[in-house]
Structure 1
């Protein structure tokens, strides 16, 4: 039965690729931040869970067209009753929840695009995917800097090749290919460290996140869904 399921899945993938053409789709919207239902697809995290003093919130913004806001206070201070597991303070962000539709297959795309409004701080985009060898969630995280323009909306395109494999916040030297066919989650967080971030409040505007095939995407295409 397992062999039959794999055969049926591969046949379905082949038919879908045939419909999309040799280069696949030009782009695909993965996430929007227009409604409360959109925000419910995300979970937030910060060092406060282990006794740190950073805070995080994901809320709807004031834009008439509907956008989200990732905000809070950044701090590298550690509370007196911090958990012994808290070895590094100064982190906060959001990550997408598992989709009822299953894993994200972005094999046809070569970039992620974030339409965001920055506040002058450094942010990081992250990708988690299933391990190549075992059918389970990997603890590895692929990360890249997300340079958002301060005070204005802009599309930030990050090639998948720019994401670096990290493990517990450190870059892995070994060369490992990102498994774009089996992505479990996408995330956004503050870049940690006193060298990158001053203590204080932060606010990142969020409109949408999309996958893009730069080989066939037209620069003047309207990415935003009205």
Structure 2
């Protein structure tokens, strides 16, 4: 009888261990901006690709409290003379992650968190998910965006529920019944526009600077 009880307890312990093993942690780092290798996971873009004059850079810097990423540059509302491109607006820059190796599964999480230090501007956090349609002419990733207002000069942890990310098409919110699939995230980006953003945020042409320590996913519920 004692041997049977011992076997039963061992079985229960094994089952409990396996169940706990299946529960994901309450947070998951997606990016840590602590080395030049991290910078290589991103590429920059701006209106300069279409005749604008904005510029951006991304580098790792150590200001004494450990290394972190610095996304900075200048937003311009002007256009290059003789540009062949016809744009309705200029004054934007962004940093977009290179595509993940396949995708990452964030289905167990409900919030994106960023540790940032800014300049009073409003930034845009974008999540790219695998396109469910994947038909000719509709091959771009689905994109979902939310504003991030970053107070000036102090480190700030922003937490954005996934439910706040709205479906967008080339920067514009689309009026469509769509639901994000967090199990098929293929990339992320951070961007800034000279105009727009949340009320009270700094706007207009000029310099911008956003320091980034990390980006991670949280399970808060």
Matched-pair contact (CA < 8 Å) for 2:51–2:85: no
TM-score computed with the length of structure 1 as normaliser: 0.80
The equivalent residue for 2:15 is none
1:198 aligned to 2:204? yes
- Aligned runs of 1:65-76 on 2, under 5 Å? 65-76=66-77
1:88 aligned to 2:94? no
Deviations 1:175-198 (A, max 9, x none): 200111111111000035268621
Q: Distance in 1 between matches of 2:150 and 2:56?
A: 18
Computed over aligned residues only, the root mean square deviation of the Cα atoms, in angstroms, reads 2.1
Q: Distance in 2 between matches of 1:81 and 1:139?
A: 32
Q: Distance in 2 between matches of 1:128 and 1:29?
A: 17
Q: Distance in 2 between matches of 1:151 and 1:112?
A: 22
Deviation of 1:77 after TM superposition, in Å, equals 1.2
Deviations 1:32-81 (A, max 9, x none): 11110011100000001111011000011232311010000011211113
The equivalent residue for 2:153 is 151
- Aligned runs of 1:125-144 on 2, under 5 Å? 125-134=125-134, 138-144=140-146
Alignment length (residue pairs):
197
Deviations 1:110-138 (A, max 9, x none): 01001000101111100111112339953
The equivalent residue for 1:41 is 41
- Aligned runs of 1:4-15 on 2, under 5 Å? none
The equivalent residue for 1:162 is 164
Q: Distance in 2 between matches of 1:122 and 1:107?
A: 27
Task: Say which one has the larger Rg.
Answer: 2
Deviations 1:134-174 (A, max 9, x none): 39953432100011121011110000000011112211111
Q: Distance in 1 between matches of 2:96 and 2:25?
A: 25
The equivalent residue for 2:100 is 99
Structure 1, unaligned stretches of length 5 or more?
Answer: 1-15, 216-226
The farther-off stretch of 116-125 and 82-91 is: 82-91
1:181 aligned counterpart, secondary structure:
helix
Q: Distance in 1 between matches of 2:219 and 2:139?
A: 26
Greater fraction strand: 2
Structure 2, unaligned stretches of length 5 or more?
Answer: 1-17
Question: Which of the numbers 160, 183, 186 marks the counterpart of 1:184?
Answer: 186
1:37 aligned counterpart, secondary structure:
helix
Q: Distance in 2 between matches of 1:17 and 1:77?
A: 58
Stretches of 4+ moved more than 4 A in 1?
none
